Structure 1
Amino acid sequence: MRLLVVCLGNICRSPVAEGVLRARIQASTLAGQVELDSAGTGDWHVGQPPDRRAIANAAEHGIDIAGLRARQLGPADYRDFDWLLCADRANLRDVRARMPHGAHARAALLLDWTGVEHEGEVPDPYTGGPAQFEHVFQLLDRAADGAIARLRQELRLR
Protein backbone atom coordinates (compact mmCIF):
# COMPACT_ATOMS: atom_id res chain seq x y z
CA MET A 1 0.00 0.00 0.00
CA ARG A 2 1.42 3.40 -0.95
CA LEU A 3 0.10 6.62 0.62
CA LEU A 4 0.91 10.20 -0.36
CA VAL A 5 -0.16 12.98 2.02
CA VAL A 6 -0.85 16.25 0.21
CA CYS A 7 -1.15 19.84 1.41
CA LEU A 8 -0.47 23.21 -0.20
CA GLY A 9 3.27 23.78 0.17
CA ASN A 10 4.52 20.52 1.75
CA ILE A 11 6.18 22.32 4.67
CA CYS A 12 3.61 22.13 7.51
CA ARG A 13 0.73 19.66 7.44
CA SER A 14 1.83 16.96 5.03
CA PRO A 15 5.39 16.48 6.36
CA VAL A 16 4.05 16.27 9.94
CA ALA A 17 1.45 13.75 8.76
CA GLU A 18 4.15 11.78 6.95
CA GLY A 19 6.32 11.76 10.07
CA VAL A 20 3.55 10.72 12.46
CA LEU A 21 2.24 8.04 10.11
CA ARG A 22 5.72 6.70 9.43
CA ALA A 23 6.48 6.42 13.15
CA ARG A 24 3.18 4.66 13.88
CA ILE A 25 3.49 2.27 10.97
CA GLN A 26 7.09 1.37 11.84
CA ALA A 27 6.01 0.59 15.40
CA SER A 28 3.15 -1.63 14.22
CA THR A 29 2.69 -4.95 12.48
CA LEU A 30 2.32 -2.96 9.25
CA ALA A 31 6.04 -2.15 9.07
CA GLY A 32 7.33 -2.96 5.61
CA GLN A 33 3.83 -3.12 4.11
CA VAL A 34 3.10 0.59 3.70
CA GLU A 35 5.12 3.22 1.86
CA LEU A 36 4.66 6.90 2.66
CA ASP A 37 5.57 10.22 1.15
CA SER A 38 4.22 13.75 1.13
CA ALA A 39 3.90 16.50 -1.46
CA GLY A 40 2.38 19.90 -2.03
CA THR A 41 0.10 21.11 -4.79
CA GLY A 42 2.19 24.28 -5.03
CA ASP A 43 5.85 24.65 -5.97
CA TRP A 44 6.89 27.57 -3.72
CA HIS A 45 8.91 25.49 -1.25
CA VAL A 46 10.33 22.68 -3.43
CA GLY A 47 13.59 21.43 -1.96
CA GLN A 48 13.13 23.21 1.37
CA PRO A 49 12.86 21.53 4.77
CA PRO A 50 9.58 21.68 6.68
CA ASP A 51 8.69 24.91 8.46
CA ARG A 52 10.88 25.31 11.57
CA ARG A 53 7.75 25.47 13.74
CA ALA A 54 6.49 22.16 12.32
CA ILE A 55 9.91 20.58 12.92
CA ALA A 56 9.97 21.86 16.52
CA ASN A 57 6.42 20.76 17.28
CA ALA A 58 6.93 17.29 15.83
CA ALA A 59 10.21 16.97 17.77
CA GLU A 60 8.36 17.77 21.01
CA HIS A 61 6.39 14.59 20.33
CA GLY A 62 9.43 12.50 19.41
CA ILE A 63 8.96 12.74 15.64
CA ASP A 64 11.93 13.84 13.50
CA ILE A 65 10.89 15.45 10.21
CA ALA A 66 13.94 17.72 9.80
CA GLY A 67 15.37 15.59 7.00
CA LEU A 68 12.27 15.80 4.79
CA ARG A 69 12.29 18.10 1.77
CA ALA A 70 9.29 19.66 0.07
CA ARG A 71 8.28 18.48 -3.36
CA GLN A 72 5.40 19.19 -5.67
CA LEU A 73 2.75 16.68 -6.64
CA GLY A 74 3.58 15.30 -10.08
CA PRO A 75 1.98 13.14 -12.77
CA ALA A 76 3.86 10.01 -11.64
CA ASP A 77 2.24 10.26 -8.19
CA TYR A 78 -1.12 9.38 -9.73
CA ARG A 79 0.42 6.16 -11.05
CA ASP A 80 2.73 5.29 -8.15
CA PHE A 81 0.44 5.76 -5.13
CA ASP A 82 -2.76 4.01 -4.08
CA TRP A 83 -4.13 6.96 -2.10
CA LEU A 84 -3.55 10.72 -2.28
CA LEU A 85 -4.68 11.90 1.16
CA CYS A 86 -5.38 15.63 1.19
CA ALA A 87 -5.30 18.01 4.14
CA ASP A 88 -8.28 20.08 2.99
CA ARG A 89 -10.96 20.43 0.34
CA ALA A 90 -9.03 22.99 -1.73
CA ASN A 91 -6.12 20.59 -2.11
CA LEU A 92 -8.48 17.71 -2.82
CA ARG A 93 -10.08 19.75 -5.62
CA ASP A 94 -6.63 20.54 -7.06
CA VAL A 95 -5.51 16.92 -6.83
CA ARG A 96 -8.65 15.72 -8.58
CA ALA A 97 -8.45 18.45 -11.25
CA ARG A 98 -4.90 17.35 -12.15
CA MET A 99 -5.71 13.64 -12.15
CA PRO A 100 -4.79 12.16 -15.54
CA HIS A 101 -7.08 9.79 -17.36
CA GLY A 102 -6.49 6.22 -16.23
CA ALA A 103 -4.85 7.22 -12.95
CA HIS A 104 -4.29 4.43 -10.43
CA ALA A 105 -4.47 6.59 -7.31
CA ARG A 106 -7.66 7.53 -5.51
CA ALA A 107 -7.96 10.87 -3.70
CA ALA A 108 -9.66 11.60 -0.38
CA LEU A 109 -9.56 13.94 2.58
CA LEU A 110 -7.08 12.60 5.14
CA LEU A 111 -9.36 13.06 8.17
CA ASP A 112 -12.28 11.46 6.34
CA TRP A 113 -10.19 8.52 5.06
CA THR A 114 -8.87 7.81 8.56
CA GLY A 115 -12.32 8.03 10.16
CA VAL A 116 -11.43 11.03 12.34
CA GLU A 117 -14.01 13.41 10.93
CA HIS A 118 -16.39 13.08 7.97
CA GLU A 119 -15.40 15.75 5.42
CA GLY A 120 -12.94 17.09 8.04
CA GLU A 121 -10.04 19.33 7.15
CA VAL A 122 -6.62 19.85 8.71
CA PRO A 123 -6.27 23.64 9.07
CA ASP A 124 -3.14 25.29 7.72
CA PRO A 125 -1.07 26.51 10.71
CA TYR A 126 1.37 28.52 8.58
CA THR A 127 0.13 31.96 9.66
CA GLY A 128 -0.42 30.88 13.25
CA GLY A 129 1.71 30.17 16.26
CA PRO A 130 2.55 27.24 18.53
CA ALA A 131 -1.08 26.58 19.47
CA GLN A 132 -2.07 26.11 15.81
CA PHE A 133 0.85 23.76 15.15
CA GLU A 134 -0.04 21.74 18.26
CA HIS A 135 -3.70 21.55 17.16
CA VAL A 136 -2.60 20.23 13.77
CA PHE A 137 -0.29 17.69 15.42
CA GLN A 138 -3.12 16.43 17.62
CA LEU A 139 -5.42 16.02 14.60
CA LEU A 140 -2.72 14.16 12.70
CA ASP A 141 -1.95 11.98 15.70
CA ARG A 142 -5.61 10.93 15.80
CA ALA A 143 -5.52 10.42 12.03
CA ALA A 144 -2.52 8.11 12.44
CA ASP A 145 -4.55 5.90 14.80
CA GLY A 146 -7.35 5.78 12.24
CA ALA A 147 -4.92 5.06 9.41
CA ILE A 148 -3.43 2.10 11.29
CA ALA A 149 -6.90 0.63 11.85
CA ARG A 150 -7.92 1.13 8.23
CA LEU A 151 -4.66 -0.18 6.81
CA ARG A 152 -4.82 -3.31 8.97
CA GLN A 153 -8.30 -4.01 7.60
CA GLU A 154 -7.46 -3.21 3.96
CA LEU A 155 -4.19 -5.15 3.91
CA ARG A 156 -5.89 -8.16 5.47
CA LEU A 157 -8.32 -8.19 2.54
CA ARG A 158 -5.58 -8.30 -0.10
Structure 2
Amino acid sequence: MTNVLFVCLGNICRSPTADGIFRELVANARLDQKIIVDSAGTGDWHVGKAPDTRTVAAARKRGYDLSVLRARHVNARDFDEFDYVLAMDDANLADLQRLKPAHFTGHLGLFLEFGSRGDYREVPDPYYGGSDGFELVLDLVEDAAQGLLNHIRQRLY
Protein backbone atom coordinates (compact mmCIF):
# COMPACT_ATOMS: atom_id res chain seq x y z
CA MET A 1 0.00 0.00 0.00
CA THR A 2 1.03 3.57 -0.66
CA ASN A 3 -0.62 6.22 1.50
CA VAL A 4 -0.82 9.87 0.42
CA LEU A 5 -1.78 12.84 2.61
CA PHE A 6 -2.43 16.30 1.17
CA VAL A 7 -2.10 19.20 3.63
CA CYS A 8 -3.11 22.87 3.47
CA LEU A 9 -4.00 25.40 6.13
CA GLY A 10 -7.67 24.79 6.93
CA ASN A 11 -8.39 21.62 4.91
CA ILE A 12 -11.37 23.23 3.19
CA CYS A 13 -9.99 24.43 -0.17
CA ARG A 14 -6.68 23.20 -1.56
CA SER A 15 -6.05 19.88 0.19
CA PRO A 16 -9.61 18.56 -0.26
CA THR A 17 -9.35 19.53 -3.94
CA ALA A 18 -6.15 17.48 -4.20
CA ASP A 19 -7.75 14.66 -2.20
CA GLY A 20 -10.81 14.47 -4.48
CA ILE A 21 -8.92 14.78 -7.75
CA PHE A 22 -6.23 12.28 -6.78
CA ARG A 23 -8.85 9.79 -5.52
CA GLU A 24 -10.58 10.03 -8.88
CA LEU A 25 -7.34 9.45 -10.78
CA VAL A 26 -6.45 6.51 -8.54
CA ALA A 27 -9.90 4.96 -8.99
CA ASN A 28 -9.79 5.45 -12.77
CA ALA A 29 -6.38 3.76 -12.83
CA ARG A 30 -7.87 0.89 -10.79
CA LEU A 31 -5.28 1.43 -8.07
CA ASP A 32 -7.67 2.23 -5.23
CA GLN A 33 -6.72 -1.06 -3.56
CA LYS A 34 -3.06 0.00 -3.59
CA ILE A 35 -3.19 3.75 -2.92
CA ILE A 36 -4.93 5.36 0.08
CA VAL A 37 -5.68 9.10 -0.08
CA ASP A 38 -6.53 11.61 2.67
CA SER A 39 -6.20 15.29 3.44
CA ALA A 40 -5.75 17.44 6.54
CA GLY A 41 -5.05 20.97 7.68
CA THR A 42 -2.31 22.48 9.80
CA GLY A 43 -4.97 24.66 11.45
CA ASP A 44 -7.82 23.17 13.47
CA TRP A 45 -10.61 25.77 13.19
CA HIS A 46 -12.54 23.92 10.41
CA VAL A 47 -12.34 20.37 11.86
CA GLY A 48 -15.45 18.38 10.93
CA LYS A 49 -16.63 20.88 8.31
CA ALA A 50 -17.22 20.20 4.65
CA PRO A 51 -14.98 21.84 2.05
CA ASP A 52 -15.70 25.48 1.19
CA THR A 53 -18.82 25.73 -0.99
CA ARG A 54 -16.85 27.53 -3.72
CA THR A 55 -14.34 24.69 -3.76
CA VAL A 56 -17.11 22.10 -4.02
CA ALA A 57 -18.85 24.02 -6.83
CA ALA A 58 -15.67 24.54 -8.88
CA ALA A 59 -14.71 20.87 -8.51
CA ARG A 60 -18.24 19.71 -9.40
CA LYS A 61 -18.03 21.64 -12.70
CA ARG A 62 -15.07 19.44 -13.63
CA GLY A 63 -16.73 16.23 -12.45
CA TYR A 64 -15.18 15.84 -8.99
CA ASP A 65 -17.34 15.19 -5.93
CA LEU A 66 -15.84 16.62 -2.73
CA SER A 67 -19.07 16.60 -0.73
CA VAL A 68 -18.15 13.55 1.39
CA LEU A 69 -14.88 15.05 2.63
CA ARG A 70 -14.58 16.61 6.10
CA ALA A 71 -11.76 18.72 7.46
CA ARG A 72 -9.40 17.27 10.00
CA HIS A 73 -6.28 18.44 11.78
CA VAL A 74 -2.92 16.92 10.84
CA ASN A 75 -1.09 15.21 13.69
CA ALA A 76 2.21 13.45 14.38
CA ARG A 77 0.58 10.00 13.91
CA ASP A 78 0.02 10.86 10.26
CA PHE A 79 3.75 10.44 9.72
CA ASP A 80 3.39 6.81 10.83
CA GLU A 81 0.50 6.17 8.42
CA PHE A 82 1.45 8.06 5.27
CA ASP A 83 4.28 7.52 2.79
CA TYR A 84 3.76 10.91 1.14
CA VAL A 85 2.89 14.01 3.15
CA LEU A 86 2.43 16.78 0.60
CA ALA A 87 2.04 20.43 1.54
CA MET A 88 0.30 23.01 -0.60
CA ASP A 89 2.70 25.83 0.30
CA ASP A 90 5.90 26.66 2.14
CA ALA A 91 4.12 27.75 5.33
CA ASN A 92 2.32 24.40 5.57
CA LEU A 93 5.56 22.60 4.79
CA ALA A 94 7.36 24.45 7.61
CA ASP A 95 4.57 23.48 10.04
CA LEU A 96 4.83 19.85 8.92
CA GLN A 97 8.61 19.83 9.25
CA ARG A 98 8.26 20.94 12.87
CA LEU A 99 5.69 18.19 13.52
CA LYS A 100 7.59 15.41 11.70
CA PRO A 101 9.04 12.73 13.98
CA ALA A 102 12.72 11.87 13.53
CA HIS A 103 11.86 8.31 12.41
CA PHE A 104 9.77 9.40 9.37
CA THR A 105 11.30 7.96 6.20
CA GLY A 106 8.59 8.91 3.73
CA HIS A 107 8.40 11.86 1.37
CA LEU A 108 7.64 15.25 2.91
CA GLY A 109 7.55 18.09 0.39
CA LEU A 110 5.51 20.42 -1.75
CA PHE A 111 2.76 18.85 -3.83
CA LEU A 112 3.61 20.85 -6.95
CA GLU A 113 7.03 19.16 -7.08
CA PHE A 114 5.13 16.47 -8.99
CA GLY A 115 3.63 18.91 -11.49
CA SER A 116 4.88 19.75 -14.95
CA ARG A 117 4.13 23.46 -14.75
CA GLY A 118 7.08 25.60 -13.80
CA ASP A 119 5.11 28.79 -13.25
CA TYR A 120 3.97 27.86 -9.71
CA ARG A 121 5.90 26.32 -6.83
CA GLU A 122 3.02 26.49 -4.35
CA VAL A 123 -0.73 26.04 -4.70
CA PRO A 124 -2.10 29.54 -3.94
CA ASP A 125 -4.85 29.79 -1.33
CA PRO A 126 -8.07 30.85 -3.10
CA TYR A 127 -10.05 31.48 0.11
CA TYR A 128 -10.06 35.29 0.02
CA GLY A 129 -10.20 35.65 -3.76
CA GLY A 130 -12.67 35.20 -6.56
CA SER A 131 -13.74 32.21 -8.62
CA ASP A 132 -10.67 32.43 -10.86
CA GLY A 133 -8.53 31.40 -7.86
CA PHE A 134 -10.50 28.18 -7.45
CA GLU A 135 -10.10 27.44 -11.16
CA LEU A 136 -6.34 27.99 -10.91
CA VAL A 137 -6.18 25.59 -7.95
CA LEU A 138 -7.99 22.96 -10.02
CA ASP A 139 -5.59 23.46 -12.95
CA LEU A 140 -2.51 23.14 -10.75
CA VAL A 141 -3.86 20.19 -8.78
CA GLU A 142 -4.96 18.23 -11.85
CA ASP A 143 -1.47 18.58 -13.32
CA ALA A 144 0.42 17.68 -10.12
CA ALA A 145 -1.97 14.82 -9.29
CA GLN A 146 -1.24 13.20 -12.65
CA GLY A 147 2.48 13.62 -12.06
CA LEU A 148 2.19 12.11 -8.59
CA LEU A 149 0.21 9.15 -9.91
CA ASN A 150 2.85 8.55 -12.59
CA HIS A 151 5.58 8.73 -9.94
CA ILE A 152 3.81 6.24 -7.65
CA ARG A 153 3.07 3.90 -10.56
CA GLN A 154 6.79 3.76 -11.36
CA ARG A 155 7.49 2.81 -7.76
CA LEU A 156 4.73 0.17 -7.66
CA TYR A 157 5.83 -1.62 -10.84
Using the size of structure 1 for normalisation, the TM-score is 0.93
Question: Paired residue for 2:74?
Answer: 73
Q: Report how far residue 36 of structure 1 moved.
A: 0.3
Q: Would you say how many aligned residue pairs link Structure 1 and Structure 2?
A: 155
- CA deviations on 1:110-143 (whole Å, 9 max, x unpaired) are 001x143568100000001110000100110111
Question: Paired residue for 1:19?
Answer: 20
Give ranges in structure 2 of 5+ residues lacking alignment. Answer: none
Question: Paired residue for 1:41?
Answer: 42
Give ranges in structure 1 of 5+ residues lacking alignment. Answer: none
Matched-pair contact (CA < 8 Å) for 1:81–1:104: no
For residues 128 and 136 of structure 1, the distance between their equivalents in structure 2, rounded to whole angstroms, comes to 12
Q: Report how far residue 75 of structure 1 moved.
A: 1.5
Q: Report how far residue 16 of structure 1 moved.
A: 0.5
SS in 2 for 1:55: helix
Matched-pair contact (CA < 8 Å) for 1:17–1:140: yes
Question: Paired residue for 1:9?
Answer: 10
Matched-pair contact (CA < 8 Å) for 1:80–1:105: no
1:92 equivalent to 2:102? Answer: no
Matched-pair contact (CA < 8 Å) for 2:115–2:146: no
- C-alpha change, 1:117 and 1:93, in structure 2 (3 Å) is farther
Matched-pair contact (CA < 8 Å) for 1:79–1:104: no
For residues 101 and 152 of structure 2, the distance between their equivalents in structure 1, rounded to whole angstroms, comes to 26
1:149 equivalent to 2:150? Answer: yes
**Identical amino acids, percent of aligned pairs:** 44
For residues 152 and 106 of structure 2, the distance between their equivalents in structure 1, rounded to whole angstroms, comes to 16
- CA deviations on 1:71-117 (whole Å, 9 max, x unpaired) are 000121010000101101110111001112212443110001x1435
For residues 151 and 105 of structure 1, the distance between their equivalents in structure 2, rounded to whole angstroms, comes to 13
- C-alpha change, 1:101 and 1:39, in structure 2 (3 Å) is same
Question: Paired residue for 1:131?
Answer: 132
- C-alpha change, 1:133 and 1:115, in structure 2 (3 Å) is closer
- Give the counterpart letter for 2:8 in structure 1: C
| Alignment RMSD | 1.3
